[in-house]
Amino acid sequence: MTSPATDAESPLLITREGTIAHLQFNRPAKRNALNDAAIEALRQFFSAPPEGVRVVVLSGKGGHFSAGLDLSEQVARPPLDVMRHSRNWHAVSGLIQFGGLPVVAALEGAVMGGGLEIAACAHVRVAETGTMFRMPEGQRGIFVGGGASVRVARLIGADRLAEMMLTGRTYSAEDGERLGLAHYVVPQGQGLERAMELARAIAGNSPTVNHFIIQSIARIANMASEDGLFTESLAAALSQTGPDAEEGLRAFLEKRRPNFG
């Protein structure tokens, strides 16, 4: 990792390795609990990613991904302000999921509440042994507001999410892989390394096709079947024109790895 893009006091550290940006939650004393400053830092990055970045790796500093919303910084708000706060999280979550950059999350320790809501925006999730998935809002007297009722429910099902919220149950990394909260489980201490390996592989794909995958798959899943198939055909038609498609075909015929520039 090279070139820190933020100072040590920032709630989000940003470093760069070639075409990969590493975003690291930087509140280890609070298990990377998410405050408004951290969400704003995410918004700023994903609204205008640095030129040349093709993939993002998202992790937490100090042994935890994120223990969720920083309740110590929450103040009593009237309902409309709470709704605005929630909708801002939704907007930032949308930038992460649909901003056009593949996001690989390296998960360890606490992945809870708002931390799980952010992790659910990632396109690839790597969990270390010892990771703890939990939605404790039911025990805090609040309802989820960062997108869990949509994104987490789509990963594991509404029934399972309701059970998590009602009971505060903790799921392990292995449970998370089985349920769909994680795609990979690796030994403790190897999550970031594996996430970077996957990010490098993804960065070698066609940026055009990566973009179509991010923009299309989740949306097609929400469509009626015939609408989804039509959208798939449009994406296929658009992907098979231009220099990336030409390079991919040429590389296949020449029996070499493609170089998408």
Residues labelled as active-site residues: 117, 137
Output the CA angle 61-84-75, nearest 5 degrees.
Answer: 65
Q: Bridge partners of 12? A: 25
Output the CA angle 211-216-217, nearest 5 degrees.
Answer: 110
In the three-class reduction of DSSP (H, G, I as helix; E, B as strand; rest coil), residue 112 is classed as strand
Helix (H) or strand (E) holding 244: helix 243-253
Q: Give residues with Cβ within 8 angstroms of 131, minimum separation 6.
A: 65, 107, 108, 109, 111, 172, 173, 176, 182
Give the pairing of strands 171-172 and 132-134: antiparallel
In the three-class reduction of DSSP (H, G, I as helix; E, B as strand; rest coil), residue 13 is classed as strand
How is residue 9 written in tokens? 């006091």
d(CA 125, CA 91): 21
